[in-house]
A = this chain, B = another copy of it.
């Protein structure tokens, strides 16, 4: 029944993720694999708290500190993007391709905005001695008043 070279889809995915973490210089510990697998499964915007919750609900064993450590590490290594829309908490975005966001002020929801053609040409160059290392565009939206 058990095959050391098993190639079920689940096994293959887990192996691919392990290698991906390795390639980014991240030691693939069980907790990191769990968190990365959950986050990278689909494009989503979760707060640290929501990640924690989702992990516990899945029966994974992780501590808050490890969640924060891992999220920070994934951001640092470019596997995750951190979005600050509201000064109270951060969102972690598993879509790392360039894009922008709608932020619904009323319900605290974040939505991707594909805007590949936003004219950057009109933006002034960074001040002397500095270089641009990122751009965040947040469009605040609200429910229409009835």
Contacts and interface: CB of A to CB of B under 8 A. Distances in A.
Nearest to A131: B144
A127 interface: yes
Counted per complex, copies of this chain come to 2
Q: How large is the interface on A (under 10, 10 to 19, 20 to 34, 35 or more residues)?
A: 35 or more
Interface string A17-44: 0000000000000000000000000000
A49 to B, nearest CB: 12
- Interface residues of chain A: helix, strand, loop or mixed (majority): strand
B123 A142 contact: no
Given A85-B84, A87-B88, A89-B87, A141 B119 contact: no
Interface of A: 82, 84-90, 100, 102, 104-105, 111, 113-115, 117-119, 122-124, 126-127, 129-144
